[in-house]
Amino acid sequence: MSLGEVFVSEVIGTAMLTLLGVGVVANVLLGKTKGRGVGSDWLLINIGWGLAVMAGVFVAYKSGAHINPAVTFGILSSGADTYGGTADVDIDVGSTLVYLAGEMVGAFAGAVVAWAAYKQHFDDPEASPAAKLGTFSTAPEIHNPVWNLVTEIIATFVLVFVVLSIGLTPSGLGPLAVALLVVGIGASLGGPTGYAINPARDLGPRIAHFLLPIKGKGGSDWGYSWVPIVGPMVGGVIAGLLSQVTF
């Protein structure tokens, strides 16, 4: 499998993940949508993101469906020789950069498409700037960067460690298992920070929020943006290292 094919696979898979994930949050947070005020909003968001991950995994199965830089770095630190997929990709600097680039481009693209789907709702003057930003990126309920970082490290460790244990399988129960895992993480550990657990998933949409012509959108909260990048990367690396002595 060529690195060009890897790039395309990760772009499409991460875009699908982000489109459906940003979409479910927009459906819940923005005004005048069919999903607004239906009750159990947090659970709906958790389920929506879980199914978004499952869709992304199926779409990007050829490249191993990382769709998350934390997973890429988790595999890298696990001591594996290849990144997996239908055609094993050797782990080196070049292939790692291709995976990361595909994930970032896909995350940005998916967020833009989600914005297009909900454009009228984003332009609604009754929608608050916080709700508009919240559809794209995460934010803590209690702002404390150190403890917010700890939450993201723990949540992403759980994600990557379990993903490594099920082998990133592209068929069978693999994608469903990852989907349910994401729902479980959201329900159990997502409350403090909104559980980014994926640097691309937060940074790509945050850049989209910054660039898109959204009326009354407010700032993009760049002061917090490093937390959902650093936390998941650290959590992924710890999971990869621990997997060497566990699996």
The CATH number of whichever domain residue 104 belongs to comes to: 1.20.1080.10
DSSP state of 63: G
pTM exceeding the 0.75 threshold for the entire prediction? yes
Cα–Cα distance between 116 and 48 in angstroms, integer? 18
Token pair for residue 234?
């650290």
Contact 55, 20 (CB under 8 A): yes
Q: Which residues pair with 85 in a beta bridge?
A: none
Q: What tokens appear for 228 in the block?
A: 């959902």
pLDDT, tens digit, 9 for 90 and up, residues 148-203: 999 999 999 999 999 998 864 555 678 889 999 999 999 999 999 999 999 999 99
Domain that holds residue 152: 3-246
Neighbours of 144 (CB within 10 A): 12
CA distances from 29 to 53, 73, 99, 119 (A): 20, 32, 31, 13
CB neighbour burial string for 93-104, b if at least 16 within 10 angstroms, e if fewer: eebbebbbbbbb
Number of domains in the chain: 1
pLDDT, tens only, 53-81: 999 999 999 999 999 999 999 999 999 99
Please give the biggest Cα pair distance in the chain.
54
